Structure 1
Amino acid sequence: MTEEGDRLGDRVEALESRVAHQDRTIEALNEVVTAQWATIERLKREVEALGERMEEAVAGPGPVDRPPPHY
């Protein structure tokens, strides 16, 4: 029975080791996904701001036919 108990203990230990490794991997992946999500949100805001600036530039006044103020 001791040999069987030893094998069972070894199997449990191996499973615990695998679970710990998987937990670390999942946590690392979660950190990567969270960082990517933040980057995507920042880039979406920048694209929206650039779109608004483009619309303002297109709809803005045309060129002015007077010399700059330093003349």
Structure 2
Amino acid sequence: MSALEQRLEDLETKVSFLELANQELSDLLYDQQQQIDKHFHDLARQLRRLYENQVSDDQVDERPPHY
């Protein structure tokens, strides 16, 4: 095998590893984004529940209109 063929084979091998690493990183990034989205929706739901409880607590503390 000539030096040029060896260099070409080495480059092809490196490209293959880089493509694999790129795909793994892409998959990892996708999974992390899914987790972030889930946490965001969970937080939004909890904040909405907290706000609803706060509003209902404020209404309980109000004096009736006949006072």
The count of aligned residue pairs is: 59
User: TM-score scaled to structure 2, two decimals?
Assistant: 0.82
Q: Which structure has the larger Rg?
A: 1
For 1:1-71, list aligned pairs within 5 A.
6-61=2-57, 62=60
After TM superposition, where is structure 1 displaced by more than 4 Å over at least 4 residues in a row?
none
Q: Percent identity?
A: 19
Query: Root-mean-square deviation (CA), in Å?
Result: 1.4
**Structure 1, unpaired ranges of 5+:** 64-71
Q: By how many angstroms is 1:49 displaced?
A: 0.3
Q: By how many angstroms is 1:56 displaced?
A: 0.6
**Structure 2, unpaired ranges of 5+:** 62-67
User: TM-score scaled to structure 1, two decimals?
Assistant: 0.78
Match of 2:65 in 1: none
Q: Structure 1 or 2: larger helix share?
A: 2
